[in-house]
Amino acid sequence: MTATRKKLVLVGNGMAGVWAIEHLLKLAPEAYEITIFGSEPHPNYNRIMLSSVLAGGANMDEIIINDLEWYRSHNITLYIGQTVTAIDTDKRKIYSDQGIEIEYDELILATGSHPFMLPLPGADKKGVIAFRDIKDCEIMQETAKSYRKAVVIGGGLLGLEAARGLLHLGMEVSVVHINEYIMERQLDQPASIMLRKELEDQGMKFLLNKQSEAILGQKRVKSLLFADGSTVEADLIVMAVGIKPNIKLAQKSGITINRGIVVNDYMETNIPGISAVGECAEHRGIAYGLVAPLYEQGAVLAKRLAGVETEGYAGSVTSTKLKVSGVNVFSAGQFAEPENSRALRFQDEIDGVYKKLVIQNDKLIGAVLFGDTNDGAQLFSMIKKGENIKGREKELLLGISADAISASQGNRLEEMADDEIICGCNGVSKGRIAEAIQSEGCTSVGQIKACTKASASCGGCKPLVEGLLQLYAGDAVVTVKEGICGCTSLGRDEIVSEIKRMELKTVKEVMNVLEWNVEEGCSKCRPSLNYYLGMLWPEEYVDEKESRFTNERYHANIQKDGTYSVVPRIYGGVTSPAALKKIAEVAEKFDVPMVKFTGGQRIDLLGVKKEDLPKMWEELDMPSGHAYGKTLRTVKTCVGSTFCRFGTQDAIGMGIRLEKEFERLTAPAKVKLAVSGCPRNCAEATIKDFGVVAIDGGWELHIGGNGGVHVRATDLLCVVKTDDEVVEWASAFLQYYRESAGWNERTAAWVERVGVDSVKKALENREDRLALQERIQKTLSLTTDPWKQIVNEPELRKNFEPITQTETV
């Protein structure tokens, strides 16, 4: 760091603040020494994607916007899990709850907002939460494992997202709303009614015109009482009734506040050197809760801090795009028909399409689309530009024709300012996309997505991205089929085939030879290549640790507070007094906060510090249960004929044999097995990746089950007579899956994709089965428990050393 750099501190590691920093780094990369504080124990992530995490469509790694390496590469000092509690505006210093004191020349407050919790009697009971962050998602996912009835208070955008996720988790969901129709801030009544009907068909229940009065129950919520005296049962209540700007820190520091932190057009507060941006900021009396305006604010702030001329922030026209369980909804501008306006409507009940355009002085000022939202981006652009649409009303209402788009879009996009946001989900501006096309050689939507993240989330901006591609690339535009990610157009089978054909042996080599669009790849392709290479060349390939996710690098599951959970392997759920005693002693020695039995018949030691992990495994001296990786997790068993009067076979013995046979096996996704000792199926073998059910004189073998968010019962593969045959078929099935499935593709999805008949055909010949078994045994013979390597190699232990407060994370 040079002495001439000013000190810039950002309070808040969320989307708005970090986006402003990203923009600033592009404009003036050497101007500031940057420090960022975030209260959550995570790097910057996409809060818009929380509903996908809740529904199981994405995990934490997939919604990270900037990983820790990004902070390192830009020399940003990051303090995660720390909250700034005070500002000394005279000395220009901030103070954190963990004793950090830092001086600043410029301070940005991006403290976001808090969910509004209704002050109902009983709101402090267990099972009453908001829907705002990763922690809330985890609570909902955990609750869904044990409870059935969920109530969401709030029928707005956030409430329906929460309800969608809970529905996918298998809960019975009722949405309570104080108004007569849902999403009244974004939709008019006809569109709202159509949306409600679609959601009711999918299993959602609605209680409208209901005033919540009290939450009933003892320690945990049992029901919700309404003002009219009626109740609804609830094991979980999610409040999604709005947000309020987080102004506490600003208020304590003497900064002018109203509903939010009051800022001018340049995002400055009343205190010199302090700016505010995002949901915590109030501009011209408005505190915005949608992401696109926050990115526009961030662009203005970054320009001012970089010394670049800017006209300032003048406010935003907002739009909303929502996809609830396959239902497309779009809303923008003033849809409530202000005075001296007129509305045009089109409604098709058969195809479930509704369109409304609000026009004033021959200009489009608002729009509502339901079912078909393809024209949303174009209409929104017209609203923002104040474009005259006289004579084109019918064309716009019935659908913008391709000819009309090509005739008008080029001029509209050309006139658009470079800092105007194209991709609201990821804050990608027109200028950034233009740079990717003109300077970085992007000639397809997929390349732009990989390069800038534009259209990588909801995809609503794709028409605008395509328009910019035509505008700047012209005849050079190429139509590229989608590959495993935006870094390549190649699919899984093509990549594996080329690796084998050309005998490629490293991730870097694959990317170079197969001409990856992005030199270093991304979080989707690097782990997949790492797996494919290890699967194809088990004897030669050296596992690339940096291409693995956090849990797999540390061989433990990271928890929401930054600690880890350790799960030793307990074969078939059977242990001994000596093993239990050892686990207890280690748990006491390392002050483990919680010891829990898992759903897979194992013991989980939760709350372990990262620096304790190597020593803890050394003292346990037990194999890892691999509760964190894409590998064999558990083999669940019932007691079978050993103790049960209904048991027909030794389920415990078979379960232990299978677990010892396949422990440490890497796979495209996690794999779970189960063995039930009779058709009563107490071990739930028919919802596992490979299930074994005992029958008189033999075993049924089942494949492709899943007990997660999308429950899938297994398909019967075959019936065998001997224990050796069970192992033979299990080996062949698992190896065939390893060699055929895509990265991160569970057996349930894989079997549905390729068909159970094709799996049966591939395994019907015993010669083929034995060849697959030989290959899987060869792979397993080359693996060792990862902890033995870490325990015995001091160099590897350095990865587990704690990060000090003075280090750049």
CATH class of 317-400: alpha beta
Decide if pLDDT at 546 tops 80. no
pLDDT for res 376 = 81
Most confident of 114-123, 193-202, 420-429, 552-561: 114-123
What is the helix (H) or strand (E) element at residue 109, kind and residue range?
strand 106-109
Least confident span in 592-601, 733-742, 798-807: 798-807
Contacts 24+ apart (CB under 8 A), 584-592: 585/619, 586/616, 586/619, 586/620, 589/619, 590/615, 590/616
Residue type, 675: V
pLDDT for res 796 = 66
Q: In the predicted model, what is the mean pLDDT of residues 287-313?
A: 91
**Separation between Cα atoms, residue 373 and residue 352, nearest integer Å:** 12
pLDDT for res 573 = 85
Tokens of 63: 């919604």
Query: In sequence order, what DSSP letters do the residues of 382-437 get, joined into one string?
Result: HHHHT-B-TT-HHHHHH---HHHHHHHHHHHHHHS-TTSEEETTTTEEHHHHHHHH
Mean pLDDT, the chain, integer: 87
- Which has the closest alpha carbon to 206: 240, 184, 188, 179? 179
Share of the chain above pLDDT 90, in %: 52
- Calculate the CA dihedral of residues 314, 406, 397, 336 and round it to 10 degrees: -10
- Which has the closest alpha carbon to 359: 381, 387, 331, 378? 387
- What angle do helix axes 756-763 and 723-740 make, rounded to 10 degrees? 120
| Per-residue pLDDT tens digits for 328-366 | 888 888 888 888 899 999 988 877 889 999 999 999 999
Q: Are strands 205-208 and 671-676 parallel, antiparallel or unpaired?
A: unpaired
- Is residue 485 marked as binding? no
CATH class of 6-114+245-306: alpha beta
Q: In the predicted model, what is the mean pLDDT of residues 766-778?
A: 95
- Is residue 487 marked as binding? no
Q: What radius of gyration do the chain's Cα atoms show?
A: 28
**Separation between Cα atoms, residue 139 and residue 153, nearest integer Å:** 17
Residue in the structure block whose two tokens are 């970085």 = 440
Q: How far is CA 507 from the centre of its chain?
A: 25
Share of the chain above pLDDT 70, in %: 92
CA separation, residue 165 to residues 6, 49, 182, 208, 289 (Å): 44, 11, 17, 20, 21
CA separation, residue 264 to residues 87, 269, 668, 706 (Å): 20, 7, 52, 53
Looking at the DSSP assignment, which residues form a beta bridge with residue 429? 421
* CATH architecture, domain 128-240: 3-Layer(bba) Sandwich (3.50)
Q: How far is CA 420 from the centre of its chain?
A: 26
**Separation between Cα atoms, residue 319 and residue 299, nearest integer Å:** 19
Decide if pLDDT at 803 tops 70. no
| Per-residue pLDDT tens digits for 140-193 | 988 998 999 999 999 998 899 899 889 888 899 999 999 999 999 889 999 999
**Contact status, residue 448 vs residue 455, Cβ threshold 8 Å:** yes
Query: In sequence order, what DSSP letters do the residues of 31-42 get, joined into one string?
Result: SEEEEEEESSSS
Looking at the DSSP assignment, which residues form a beta bridge with residue 703? 690, 715
Domain coordinates of the chain in residue numbers? 6-114+245-306, 128-240, 317-400, 492-548, 631-784
Residue in the structure block whose two tokens are 């297994």 = 714
- SS3 letters for 660-703? HHHCCCECCCCEEEEEECCCCCCCCHHHCCEEEEEECCEEEEEE
Decide if pLDDT at 511 tops 70. yes
| Per-residue pLDDT tens digits for 673-719 | 999 999 989 999 999 999 999 998 899 999 999 986 677 999 999 99
**Separation between Cα atoms, residue 701 and residue 683, nearest integer Å:** 14
**Separation between Cα atoms, residue 173 and residue 190, nearest integer Å:** 23
pLDDT for res 412 = 63
- Which has the closest alpha carbon to 436: 422, 426, 448? 448
CA separation, residue 67 to residues 39, 73, 536 (Å): 16, 10, 29
Least confident span in 123-132, 369-378, 689-698: 369-378
Compute the Cα dihedral for 600, 558, 525, 452 and give only its sign. positive
Residue in the structure block whose two tokens are 């898992």 = 598
**Contact status, residue 510 vs residue 485, Cβ threshold 8 Å:** no
- SS3 letters for 269-336? CCCCCEEECCCCEEECCECCCCHHHHHHHHHHHHHHHHCCCCCCCCCCCCEEEEEECCEEEEEEECCC
Q: In the predicted model, what is the mean pLDDT of residues 459-474?
A: 80
**Separation between Cα atoms, residue 331 and residue 376, nearest integer Å:** 8
Question: Domain 631-784 carries which CATH code?
Answer: 3.30.413.10
pLDDT for res 405 = 47
pLDDT band at residue 807 using 50, 70 and 90 as cut-offs: very low
**Separation between Cα atoms, residue 328 and residue 472, nearest integer Å:** 30
- Is residue 638 marked as binding? yes
**Separation between Cα atoms, residue 771 and residue 762, nearest integer Å:** 12
Decide if pLDDT at 274 tops 80. yes
**Contact status, residue 220 vs residue 124, Cβ threshold 8 Å:** no
pLDDT band at residue 3 using 50, 70 and 90 as cut-offs: low
pLDDT for res 668 = 93
- Which has the closest alpha carbon to 594: 581, 583, 607? 607
Q: Exposure pattern of 154-178 as b/e (b: 16+ CB <10 Å)?
A: bbbbbbbbbbbbbbbbbbbbbbbbe
Compute the Cα dihedral for 599, 601, 603, 609 and give only its sign. negative
pTM over 0.85: no
**Contact status, residue 686 vs residue 714, Cβ threshold 8 Å:** yes
Tokens of 425: 């989900």
pLDDT for res 594 = 84
Torsions phi, psi of 547, nearest 5?
A: -95, 10
Decide if pLDDT at 1 tops 70. no
**Separation between Cα atoms, residue 240 and residue 244, nearest integer Å:** 12
| Per-residue pLDDT tens digits for 401-414 | 545 545 555 566 77
**Separation between Cα atoms, residue 558 and residue 551, nearest integer Å:** 6
Q: In the predicted model, what is the mean pLDDT of residues 197-217?
A: 93
Would you say the CATH fold of 631-784 matches that of 128-240? no
Which residues are CB-neighbours of 258 under 8 A, at least 6 positions away?
A: 282, 285
Decide if pLDDT at 805 tops 60. no
Residue type, 48: I
Q: In the predicted model, what is the mean pLDDT of residues 244-248?
A: 95
Decide if pLDDT at 222 tops 90. yes
- Is residue 644 marked as binding? yes
Which residues are CB-neighbours of 543 under 8 A, at least 6 positions away?
A: 530, 534
Which SS3 state, helix, strand or coil, does residue 639 take? coil
SS3 content of the chain, % helix, strand, coil (to 5): 35, 25, 40
Q: How far is CA 168 from the centre of its chain?
A: 15
Torsions phi, psi of 272, nearest 5?
A: -55, 140
Q: In the predicted model, what is the mean pLDDT of residues 653-668?
A: 94
pLDDT for res 133 = 87
